[in-house]
Amino acid sequence: MADTGQQRTALTRWPGRWPTTVDWLLAAALLAGSVTVALFAPSDGTHVRGPGAVAFAVAAGVTVLWWRAWPMACLVAGSVLVTANSVAGHAVGGVQYPAWLALYSVLATEASRRRRAAAVALVFVTVVVWALADRASVDADSIVGVSILFALSVMGGEFTRTRRALADADRAQLVLSAAQEAAQREHTVLQERARLARELHDALGHAVNVMVMQAGVARHVFDDRPDFTRHALGQIETVGRDALMELDRVLRVLRTTADDDTDDPLADRSTPSLAGLDTLCDRIRATGRPVDLVREPVALTPGGERAAYRIVQEAVTNAARHGRPGTIEVGVTGAGDRVAIEVRNPVDNGRPRQPARAPGSTGRGLVNMRERARLEGGELDAGPDGRGSFVVRATLPAAVPSRP
C-alpha cells in the first residue's frame, strides 16, 4: 500500500482503541517498578530524588496504558516525560520505557513511512537531549544500553509490521480467491445455461418444424390419402412426445430442488447420439422429403456424439425448410482420427430459400452448429458448393480407444 502522510492501514492496527487488560497489567507493573526505583534506589549523588521523581514515574506508568491504542500520542508524551525528567535532574529510571514501547508500537502499526521516520527521529532527539541534560556523565554502558533498547524497538516493530502485513495479504488473497471461485462458478453456470439453450433450440426447433411440415402435408392430402394423413398424425404425436421428453430432460438439469430424481431411467432416454439418426431421417421422410443416409461405424466421445446428432438435426431441418424439393444427403464417415459429417441438399440458384422470420427469431442455427463443433475440438463450414447444392460440413475428433 502506498505510503502517505495521513494513511494508516486499518488491518494493521492493534485491536481496540482503549486500554486492554494486558495494558493495565503492564502499566501497573511499570508504575510499581518506576516508583520503587524513584523512592528506594541508592542515591548516586548527582540526581535529584523526591516527590518530583515519583511524579514522573507515576506519569510514565499512566502513559503506557495507551502504547497500543494511541501509539503516536504515547510516544510524544513519553519523549516529553524523558526530556522533562532529565532537565529536572532526575535519573531516567523507568520513565524511559513508555517511549520505547510506543516506538515499537508505531513501527509495528503505522503504514505511513513519514510517520515511522518521524517517530524514529523523535526518539533519537530525545536520546540526544537526555545525554546532554543528564547530570551524570553518560558512560559507555549507558550508550550501549540505550542502543540495544533502540535497536530492539526498531527491529521488533519492523518485524511485527511486516508479519502483520503478510497476514493481511494472505487474508486478502483468500478473499480474492473466493471471489474468483465464485466468478468461475457463475461462469460455469452461464456456460451450462447457454448449452441448455442450444439443446432446446436444436431439439424443440427441429420437432416443431417437423410437426409443422407433416401437418401441412396431411392437410393437403387429407381427403385423397387418409392413410398417409393418419400416418402423419401418428408421426406428429411421436415427435411431440419426444420433444416433451427432451424438454423434461433439460428442465431436470435446471432443477435444483431436493426432489429432483436424477436416477430416473427416462432422463437419458432422449439423450441424442448417432444411433438416433435413422429415426431423425425417418421423421423428415414422413414430411415427403427423401433422405439418403450413409453412416459408417465411427467412435466419438459422448459429447461428440451429441454434437454430431445436433449438427445433423439442425442441418436436415434447415434443408427441409429452405431447400428446393430433392433428396437430402446425409453422410457420417470416419477419416483417420477425425469423423466427417456432411449434409447436402439442392437449393435454388445455389442459395437456400430464406422465408420471412417470425418475430423474435434470431436465426442462430448455423451459429449453434459451429459452436457445438468448436466446443468438441472440431470445426464446421456451411455454404453453397457452386453446383446447385447447399452443404454443411463438419469434422469432429474421433474418440481415442482406451488401452486394455
The pLDDT tens digits of the residues spanning 330-374 come to 999 887 788 999 999 988 765 555 443 433 344 567 877 888 888
Q: How far apart are CA 177 and CA 82, in angstroms?
A: 49
pLDDT higher than threshold 80 for residue 203: no
Residue 349 is predicted with a pLDDT of 61
Surface-to-core class of residue 186, CB atoms within 10 Å of its CB (0-12 exposed, 13-18 middle, 19+ buried): exposed
Residue 292 lies in a domain: yes
What lies within 8 Å, CB to CB, of 59 at 6+ separation is 81, 95
User: Pick from 138, 168, 198: which residue ends a domain?
Assistant: 138
Residue 393 is predicted with a pLDDT of 92
Average pLDDT over residues 296-323: 85
Q: How far apart are CA 82 and CA 147, in angstroms?
A: 16
| From 14-28, 318-332, 373-387, the region with the lowest mean pLDDT | 14-28
What lies within 8 Å, CB to CB, of 133 at 6+ separation is 83, 86, 87
Residue 255 lies in a domain: no
Residue 185 is predicted with a pLDDT of 78
C-alpha cell at 281: 431421417
Of residues 326 and 250, the one with the higher pLDDT is 326
Query: Does the reported pTM lie above 0.85?
Result: no
Q: How far apart are CA 337 and CA 300, in angstroms?
A: 10
Range of 32's domain?
10-138
Residue 330 is predicted with a pLDDT of 92
* Total domains present in the chain: 2
pLDDT higher than threshold 80 for residue 227: no
The CATH number assigned to the domain holding 301 equals 3.30.565.10
Contact 29, 72 (CB under 8 A): no
User: Pick from 93, 119, 138: which residue ends a domain?
Assistant: 138
CA trace torsion 87, 88, 92, 95 (10° rounding):
-100
User: Pick from 138, 167, 196: which residue ends a domain?
Assistant: 138
Residue 186 is predicted with a pLDDT of 80
Instruction: Name the residue among 343, 199, 211 with its Cα closest to residue 272.
Output: 199
pLDDT higher than threshold 70 for residue 267: no
Contact 392, 369 (CB under 8 A): yes
Residue 179 lies in a domain: no
Q: Place 71 in a pLDDT band, splitting at 50, 70 and 90.
A: confident
Residue 15 is predicted with a pLDDT of 52
Average pLDDT over residues 235-249: 71
Instruction: Name the residue among 338, 326, 339 with its Cα closest to residue 292.
Output: 326
Neighbours of 72 (CB within 10 A): 19
What lies within 8 Å, CB to CB, of 275 at 6+ separation is none
Residue position matching grid coordinates 482503549:
18
C-alpha cell at 85: 525528567
Instruction: Summarize pLDDT for 2-36 with one digit per residue, the tens.
Output: 344 344 443 445 555 677 888 888 888 888 888 88
**Helix or strand (DSSP H, E) at 39:** helix 21-40
3-class secondary structure for 318-355? HHHHHCCCCCEEEEEEEECCEEEEEEEEECECCECCCC
Residue 62 lies in a domain: yes
Residue 309 lies in a domain: yes
Residue 236 lies in a domain: no
Q: Place 42 in a pLDDT band, splitting at 50, 70 and 90.
A: low
Contact 382, 345 (CB under 8 A): no
What lies within 8 Å, CB to CB, of 89 at 6+ separation is 47, 48, 135
Of residues 83 and 223, the one with the higher pLDDT is 83
Residue 269 is predicted with a pLDDT of 43
pLDDT higher than threshold 90 for residue 191: no
Q: Give the chain's largest Cα–Cα span.
A: 136
Neighbours of 80 (CB within 10 A): 15
Instruction: Name the residue among 115, 121, 108 with its Cα closest to residue 5.
Output: 115
Residue 403 is predicted with a pLDDT of 47
Separation of CA 195 from chain center:
21
Mean pLDDT, all residues of the chain: 77
pLDDT higher than threshold 80 for residue 64: yes
% of the chain at pLDDT higher than 70: 78
Cα angle for residues 264, 269, 273 (degrees, 5° grid): 140
Residue 303 lies in a domain: yes
Residue 342 is predicted with a pLDDT of 92
Q: How far apart are CA 141 and CA 148, in angstroms?
A: 11
Average pLDDT over residues 236-253: 69
Residue 219 lies in a domain: no
Residue 253 is predicted with a pLDDT of 60
pLDDT higher than threshold 90 for residue 190: no
Instruction: Name the residue among 159, 74, 160, 179 with its Cα closest to residue 119.
Output: 74
C-alpha cell at 243: 420433444
Q: Place 326 in a pLDDT band, splitting at 50, 70 and 90.
A: confident
Average pLDDT over residues 120-142: 82
| From 85-89, 129-133, 134-138, the region with the lowest mean pLDDT | 134-138
